[in-house]
A and B are shown apart, each in its own frame.
Chain A
Amino acid sequence: GAGVSQSPSNKVTEKGKDVELRCDPISGHTALYWYRQSLGQGLEFLIYFQGNSAPDKSGLPSDRFSAERTGGSVSTLTIQRTQQEDSAVYLCASSPRRGYEQYFGPGTRLTVT
């Protein structure tokens, strides 16, 4: 079946602009995660959605970051007033249940110039 997809695959933006990153999880997976990965580094947790429950936003680095998940499926991560330190690969993952195996998308490489 189809895996997790993300778009765009690459995004170059100017400092101060807003960006939206999209994630389409595996159908039927109720848990959805966003992570950030700087060059060669591990995964930094950003936000977690589970069904219709309130999201766990504890990993968002600032109030410039927000995310939503519509209809329990597609999710959008929005970064407002981008800064150069926001440059990273943003990964989305879905899982059938919290704490279980996660299936990752290919990521969106964001470059802020």
Chain B
Amino acid sequence: TQLLEQSPQFLSIQEGENLTVYCNSSSVFSSLQWYRQEPGEGPVLLVTVVTGGEVKKLKRLTFQFGDARKDSSLHITAAQPGDTGLYLCAQSTFYGGSQGNLIFGKGTKLSVKP
């Protein structure tokens, strides 16, 4: 059974602080996505990473994919109240020679206070 764990589960910080959230899998994944979900809305895709060791930047957000393709991190620099939301990682693995369904973690709930 694939397990995708995210940590921390909750994070409350002040505006301007930096933070890192983590996503760890029990299985090697073929690709990993990060989503952000704001209250009352569906998750929105932030980034997809597919190559071991890959680093992607999206403004103040830096996403890193572990060399072993079993872990990923999201670092936010100078957090703002607009970053508040539930951050979900999702992995895809090969199943029967083709892409399987995405498996979602339980998410990190981030609150950035002004």
The interface stretch among B12-20, B41-49, B58-66, B69-77 is: B41-49
Residue of B nearest to A59 (CB): B101
Expressed in whole angstroms, the minimum distance between the Cβ of A108 and any Cβ of chain B is 10
Which size class do B's interface residues fall under? 20 to 34
Tell me which residues across on chain A come within 8 A of B109, comparing CB atoms. Answer: 40
- The residue from A48, A93, A106 contacting B41, defined by CB atoms under 8 A apart: A106
| B41 in contact with A43 (CB, 8 Å) | no
Expressed in whole angstroms, the minimum distance between the Cβ of A9 and any Cβ of chain B is 9
- The residue from A45, A99, A103, A105 contacting B99, defined by CB atoms under 8 A apart: A99
| A105 in contact with B42 (CB, 8 Å) | yes
Tell me which residues across on chain A come within 8 A of B104, comparing CB atoms. Answer: 35, 42-43, 45
Expressed in whole angstroms, the minimum distance between the Cβ of B90 and any Cβ of chain A is 8
Docked CA distance A102–B42 (Å): 11
Docked CA distance A48–B43 (Å): 17
B30 within 8 A of A: yes
| A104 in contact with B42 (CB, 8 Å) | yes
- The residue from A45, A98, A102, A107 contacting B98, defined by CB atoms under 8 A apart: A98
Tell me which residues across on chain A come within 8 A of B80, comparing CB atoms. Answer: none
Residue of A nearest to B92 (CB): A99
Please give 20 more A-B residue pairs, beta carbons under 8 A apart, in addition to A102-B45, A102-B90, A104-B42.
A33-B101, A40-B86, A43-B43, A43-B104, A45-B101, A45-B104, A98-B99, A98-B100, A99-B98, A99-B99, A99-B101, A99-B102, A101-B48, A102-B102, A103-B45, A104-B35, A104-B44, A107-B40, A107-B41, A107-B42
Residues of B participating in the A interface, judged by any CB pair closer than 8 Å: 30-31, 33, 35, 40-45, 48, 86, 88, 90, 92, 98-107, 109
Q: Identify 27 residue pairs between A and B in the complex whose beta-carbon atoms are under 8 Å apart, listed by A's number.
A: A35-B104, A40-B86, A41-B106, A42-B88, A45-B101, A45-B103, A45-B104, A56-B101, A93-B42, A98-B99, A98-B100, A99-B100, A100-B92, A100-B99, A101-B48, A102-B33, A102-B43, A102-B45, A102-B102, A103-B45, A104-B35, A104-B43, A104-B44, A106-B41, A106-B42, A107-B41, A107-B42
